[in-house]
């Protein structure tokens, strides 16, 4: 019987730190408002000419491969999640493949927004358990800073997001004691426009990208923050419970919950619903903001580096985001 296990983790965050105070240059906001509503103190922005979505992912992947003691040539497949690719197409996974010299292997380019990493991990888990592949690189990478509207109009979105990348090497094992136990994926497209970027869109009268679209704000992130918040707190809890039930486990069995870093108030609410003590939930949104598909692997990396993920631990990953999408993964480390 084949199982999938995570054998290496890596991440990269750009060195350009943007504090809440820095944002007050562009919009009417305050450190107090941002911290009180989201918990965020700072985030990272990429540096033009130095970082790209693919280069950040490559840096994260190199670290993950090294820690897994796996060479680039041993990787059978890349599953790459991002909503902010370097090109409209092809996806950044292909650019990262080129940079890492992994020519010839398949690249699955997925979006799935804030749930992207868990969706990607689920795909890797399936391919390994069917025996198709032995070593898969799972990546989440985002450059949000060039998409957000930093004027007053976009401030409720702009203050939340940051840039970064995370990666995991997922490998086949026959050891049932250390493996991905299950993954659970959900979506509800009825809420697609509650968090979306409309343009560039293909179903437009003439061209898919025009100056009018830019002027009308079609390229900006539109978010119904209240709706996202209300659905998130319900779906996060639900999908974690679903994973536990599928494995005949309960919340007290969780060693560490790694939630997508959407808002510290969302994570706190979920933690309270599950009656988990503070030390069992990872929060690093204070330093990185919401990095969409990169947030879970970055948080998991930091937890692992801090010795908070040990062999035998029950680690739960959970996400909610645009789509709406929500997902969980339960891992016996
Ligand atoms: O991965 C999923 C990604 N998205 C999320 O997780 C978002 C979930 N939602 C949220 O986190 C919250 O809804 C926000 C943090 C986005 C907003 O917090 P809120 O408590 O829902 O605030 P609000 O949008 O209801 O706005 C309250 C007030 C408004 O002013 P008035 O109308 O009461 O005078 C806003 O104009 O706060 C104002 N406001 C700001 N003030 C200072 C909105 N953004 C800002 C800002 N700085 N950045």
9 and 28 inside one domain? yes
Q: Looking at the structure, do residues 11 and 112 belong to the same domain, yes or no? A: yes
* Count of the separate structural domains present in the chain: 2
Closest residue by Cα to residue 166 from 292, 68, 318, 274:
292
- 260 in active site: yes
Domain extent at residue 305 = 180-332
Which residue's entry shows tokens 């190199």?
62
17 and 165 in a common domain: yes
Residues 164 and 185 in one domain: no
**Domain shared by 251 and 161, yes or no:** no
The response to whether residue 226 sits with its C-beta less than 6 Å from ligand 1 reads: yes
Give the residue whose CA is nearest to atom 5 of ligand 1.
Answer: 262
Is pLDDT at 1 greater than 90 in this prediction? no
State yes or no: pLDDT of 232 exceeds 90. Answer: yes
Beta carbons within 8 Å of 123's beta carbon, 6+ residues apart: 79, 108, 110
Where among 175, 199, 220 does a domain terminate?
A: 175
> Is the CB of residue 86 less than 8 Å from the CB of residue 54?
yes
Average pLDDT over residues 238-242: 98
Q: Check 231, 260, 263, 301 and give the catalytic one.
A: 260
Q: Give how far Cα 8 sits from Cα of 167, 246, 300, Å.
A: 8, 26, 11
Q: Pick the catalytic residue: 20, 53, 220, 290?
A: 290
pLDDT tens, residue by residue, 103-152: 999 999 999 999 999 999 999 999 999 999 999 999 999 999 999 999 99
Task: Calculate how far, in angstroms, residue 223's C-alpha sits from the geometric centre of ligand 1.
Answer: 10
- Known active-site residue 316: no
Ligand 1 mean position, distance from CA 285 (Å): 16
pLDDT in tens, 13-30: 999 999 999 999 999 999
pLDDT above 90: residue 7 = yes
Q: Are residues 149 and 97 in the same domain?
A: yes
Which of 175, 210, 230 marks a domain boundary?
175
- Nearest residue (CA) to ligand 1, atom 2: 321
Site to probe by mutation for ligand 1, drawn from 156, 197, 270 as the one with most ligand atoms within 8 Å of Cβ, is 156
pLDDT at 305: 98
- Per residue in 301-314, pLDDT (tens digit) is 999 999 999 999 99
Assess whether the C-beta atom of 67 lies below 6 angstroms from ligand 1. Answer: no
- The CATH number for 118's domain is 3.40.47.10
| Residue 206 confidence (pLDDT) | 86
Q: CA–CA separation, 194 vs 34, rounded Å?
A: 21
Among residues 158, 229, 155, 145, the alpha carbon closest in space to that of 194 is found at 229
Q: Are residues 192 and 91 in the same domain?
A: no
Distance 113 CA to ligand 1 centre (A): 20
Domain boundary among 175, 190, 210: 175
| Residue 156 CA, ligand 1 centroid: distance in Å | 5
Average pLDDT, the chain: 97
- In this structure, are 162 and 258 located in the same domain? no
Q: Are residues 168 and 19 in the same domain?
A: yes
Among 294, 263, 236, 296, smallest CA distance to 35 is for 263
Ligand 1, atom 12, residue with closest C-alpha: 225
| pLDDT tens-digit readout, 288-305 | 999 999 999 999 999 999
Q: Which two tokens stand for residue 74?
A: 């041993």
Same domain, 33 and 115: yes
CA 107 to CA 244: how far, in whole Å? 31
Is 290 designated active site?
Answer: yes
Tell me the pTM.
0.97
**Shared-domain flag, residues 241 and 106:** no
**Closest residue to atom 7 of ligand 1, CA basis:** 225
264-273 helix and 31-38 helix, angle to the nearest 10 degrees: 30
Q: Do 232 and 288 sit in the same domain of this protein? A: yes
29-45 pLDDT per residue, tens: 999 999 999 999 999 99
């Amino acid at each position: 019987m084949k199982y999938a296990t995570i054998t290496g983790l890596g991440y990269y965050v750009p060195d350009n730190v943007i504090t809440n105070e820095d944002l007050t240059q562009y919009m009417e906001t305050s450190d107090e408002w941002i911290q009180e509503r989201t918990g965020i103190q700072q985030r990272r922005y990429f540096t033009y000419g130095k970082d790209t979505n693919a280069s950040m992912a490559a840096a994260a992947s190199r670290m993950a491969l090294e820690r897994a003691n796996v060479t680039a040539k041993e990787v059978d497949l890349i599953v790459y999640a991002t909503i902010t690719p370097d090109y409209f197409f092809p996806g950044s996974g292909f650019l990262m493949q080129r940079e890492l010299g992994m020519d010839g292997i398949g690249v699955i380019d997925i979006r799935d927004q804030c749930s992207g990493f868990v969706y990607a991990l689920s795909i890797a888990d399936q391919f390994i358990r069917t025996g198709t592949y032995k070593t898969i690189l799972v990546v989440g990478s985002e450059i949000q800073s060039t998409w957000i509207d930093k004027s007053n109009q976009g401030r409720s979105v702009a203050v939340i997001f940051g840039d970064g990348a995370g990666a995991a090497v997922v490998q086949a094992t026959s050891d049932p004691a250390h493996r991905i136990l299950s993954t659970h994926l959900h979506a509800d497209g009825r809420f697609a426009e509650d968090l979306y970027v409309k343009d560039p869109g293909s179903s437009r009268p003439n061209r898919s990208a025009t100056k009018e679209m830019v002027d009308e704000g079609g390229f900006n992130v539109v978010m119904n923050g209240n709706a996202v918040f209300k659905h998130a707190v319900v779906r996060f809890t639900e999908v974690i419970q679903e994973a536990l039930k599928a494995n005949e486990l309960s919340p007290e069995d969780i060693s560490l919950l790694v939630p997508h870093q959407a808002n510290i108030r969302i994570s706190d609410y979920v933690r309270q619903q599950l009656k988990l003590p503070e030390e069992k939930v990872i929060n690093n949104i204070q330093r990185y903001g919401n990095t969409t598909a990169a947030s879970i692997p970055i948080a998991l990396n930091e937890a692992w580096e801090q010795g908070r993920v040990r062999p035998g631990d029950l680690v739960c990953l959970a996400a909610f985001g645009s789509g709406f999408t929500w997902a969980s993964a339960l891992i016996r480390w």
